[in-house]
Amino acid sequence: MKILWAALALLVATNAAPVFAKGGAGDKGAKKGASTPAADPNTAVAKAHGGKVWFLAGTSPGAEGVELSKWLSSHASVGEVSQKPNEERWPINYLAVFKKPPAKGPMTIEFVDKKEPSTLVAQDASQTPGGALVFQEPYDLDANNGFNKGHTYIMKVGQLIKGRFVTYATGEISLK
């Protein structure tokens, strides 16, 4: 009977060890909330504008929270970009707003022609890690990589998770 009680005590102790290690019930000296990350200032932006991509002619607005929400509300998410003379590319800056924070790791963008949504035109992984509700980066749409003047493309921003593309935000861009 003593062996049974000892085994039960050992089992309870090993199951409770992770709780104590994380600052749980037995750690009275730990500060409450010390392990919780700071709230993202763009939570309200995600609720209002999540799932969309904006294409910027110049630099990004550089704002967060209410300021960014006002900027997004005053700009259309559908973009149009003109090709510079003597160039075979369309440089863009995009800003994607996600409904929920993405997983840690690189973000991936995909482009499909609006007229042929089943055909992937381009896919590229960003070196900038995800994690925040707002993601922005420059990108070149190159004629040598399948982009054509006069076409409209659907851009999807997401991540490859377990070999499958998970979309967090989409937008349309027309090439002139």
pTM: 0.73
Per residue in 50-91, pLDDT tens?
999 998 866 667 778 888 888 888 877 778 888 878 888 888
CATH code of the domain occupying 49-175: 2.60.40.10
Count Cβ neighbours within 10 Å for each residue of 128-145 and write b for 16 or more, e otherwise: eebebbbbbbebebeeee
Report the alpha-carbon distance of residue 164 to residue 54 in Å, rounded: 24
Domain ranges of the chain: 49-175
Per residue in 106-131, pLDDT tens?
999 999 999 998 999 999 998 777 77
Q: What pLDDT sits at residue 27?
A: 47
Report the alpha-carbon distance of residue 147 to residue 90 in Å, rounded: 9
